[in-house]
Amino acid sequence: MSAYEPTPEERQKVAFDALQALAGADVTQKRLLAALAMGTPSIEATSYLIKSRVKDHKKLVEKVFERRQSKPTYQAKDVTDIIGLRILTLYRSDLQSVLQRFLKFVELARNEPLELFFGKSVSEVVEELIIYGYPYEQSLCQALVSQLKKYDLVLDGKRIRHEPKDNGYSSIHIILRAQGSLGETRFRVPVEVQIRTVLEDAWGEVQHELMYKSRFGNPEKATDGLRKSASDQLRNWKDLLDSCGNTADIIKELIKEIYKSADSESGRAFPSIDNRQLTKLDLSPDIQKGVNEAVERIDALFSSVRNTTNNLPREQGITELAEIAITLQNSLENVGSHSKRDDAIYYLNMEIALCLLWIGRLLQELALENSESGFLVSSDLRGKMRAAHVLTRSGDEVKDFPFAIESLDEAARRYFALENTASHPPDALLAFRLGEVLSARDEPELALSKFEEAMELLEKDPQFLSGNPMRSYIARRLGFAYWEAAETIRQKGMEIGSTDFMLTKRRDAYADAIRVTKQAFDAANAALQTSAGGAEMQREVRLSANNLLYYSIEFLRARGAAETLEQLGLSRKNWGDLLKVIVPAAADLDRQELPAVVDTIREVARLSGDRDLEIRAAHRVIMLLEKGDWRTRYPAELLQSMLEEARNSLKT
């Protein structure tokens, strides 16, 4: 095919059109970069590097004529990367959080005062979003797709799509229109955002240089052999860089494990497995029998976790969970063409993933205790779980992964795969469990997003989990996530010596925690009044009441207004009623086994002027802290604070 040769008139017209397409782009780029540096934490601060450029006029003209060889009507206004923006991360595992932050940034920046984008929603702003290269079946790609759902960005194979690349190219591309202005005139400026790792960016630059820019002569004159050799070498190099990227992710996880100490709150109760679905799969008799036996073992294990103050021995729990997961995986692989095949695959994977979540969290607790038994448990079980295909990554891929990381990684992979299946609608329980996995993997922002999604789905379907304590627990867990966000701000302020650091945002997080926990309390209390839920629901009522009191205290300490508490339905007048829920009778205080609950009672009694209850609670706090090792349940700072404040109560 002969090269397209434009006339002088065409060149002049395209050059003029290119000037119009570039009008105001410089100013828009500066506004965009300034906005990316705003907020705490900003996208700029949480990314490794941001690169940006406005397309050169000469290159824009060249691009138009290059495209006209295959599309004669192509014009400068059709170019989608007038402004180019690259957001780079050090690790592939950071891509999903960066994508989430960027989409949230778009949602906020389209409104006043920034008004950076046109559109009533993120879905309207984003003209195209492509996930290049990452294999769809892998957890990374499914995690990226998961971030899109919140903004109604659904894979449709066209505007929003996943696109494999034979040459190894991998990146996330987002095309959107920024709002530019010259005087009173407003216009759309095309922006192409690329989100990828620094290693992927280095490869992309070299590939673009060698295969597209043709600076070393005309590649059409090169022999097919040379061209293939260059392509093969590029692909080999990309495979090496991907391997380096995987190693970097391993190093990141290992560093997190090394520095993870008692500062990480890991003592949350795990939600029960919903056994009702497992026993209704109507599989072949032999397979269903194995599933039912696994359900019985789950019930026994769960009862042990609930009824023992310090939980069952962790090594025993890990072994039992692994054996249950293996049984369920064997059942999964023998489902065949059963009439309820889709349900069987869905619910068996749900419970295998939950076993893996439990294993990961128990192993984390062993690591916090510096227990050697965690390593002894790991070596034998990992081999059995891989042989049974419970753990699906190859041994070479995860040979340096701690067992806890591998278990949580596999749980996330299964949950993300289920989330993107077409056979089941969005599920609040699935979103919630994904939040728990992300929290265990120390990804609080992503976890909070999933807990919020779970709550939204619950509110849309009042019948889902009706009468089940999990309905209350999901709301209470979201409240705890909001409290964690507030505590992160408070601790950051302590590090820089400022008690007022982001105080408004911190108060708002406490208020959100109170709001959703009040919903949890009301739901559990209503269910209890109708005799639904039994002991589990009673427990939810007590824990929700305790959390409400604690968050209220923290809200007031952050200089929150008493009027705001009243608007949330939680004035000090309600405190006495909530205390009676936790401690119905005087003797009940001595039966409280969790120091944080007793500490809340002590502080409420102090603020309410109940001196006798304050003293009794202070003694109980000190006794519990001194007789038990609570480092795997509470942060070190919280333990020290509870002890000091209890002693101060006795001095007053």
Q: What is the mean pLDDT of each run of 10 residues along the chain (652 residues)?
A: 72 91 90 86 87 94 89 92 94 91 92 86 94 88 89 91 90 93 79 95 86 52 69 86 84 66 39 64 82 82 58 78 91 77 86 91 76 55 90 75 88 90 83 93 91 92 80 92 91 84 91 94 84 73 90 90 88 82 79 85 86 91 86 75 91 78
Which DSSP helix (H) or strand (E) runs through 129? strand 126-132
Q: Are 81 and 26 in contact (CB under 8 A)?
A: no
Q: Are 614 and 649 in contact (CB under 8 A)?
A: yes
Domain boundaries, the chain: 8-222, 260-424
Nearest to 114 by CA among 102, 105, 124: 105
Q: Please report the sign of the dihedral spanned by the C-alpha atoms of residue 226, residue 230, residue 232, residue 233.
A: positive
Q: Which residues of 85-99 are buried (b: 16+ CB within 10 A; e: fewer)?
A: bbbbbbbbbbbbbbb
Alpha-carbon gap, residue 261 to 259, rounded angstroms: 6
Residue 167, C-beta contacts closer than 8 angstroms, at least 6 positions apart:
207, 231, 234, 235, 238
Q: Are 607 and 553 in contact (CB under 8 A)?
A: yes
The number of beta carbons lying within 10 Å of the beta carbon of residue 628 is: 14
As its CATH architecture, domain 8-222 has 2-Layer Sandwich (3.30)
Q: Are strands 126-132 and 160-163 parallel, antiparallel or unpaired?
A: parallel
Three-state DSSP state, 573: helix
Q: Are 576 and 504 in contact (CB under 8 A)?
A: no
Instruction: Label residue 370 left, alpha or beta by phi (over 0 means left) and psi (-120 to 50 means alpha).
Output: left
Q: What is the pLDDT of residue 433?
A: 93
Q: What is the pLDDT of residue 264?
A: 34
Read out DSSP for 229-296? HHHHHHHHHHHHHHHHHHHHHHHHHHHHHHH--TTS---PPPPPP-HHHHTTS---HHHHHHHHHHHH
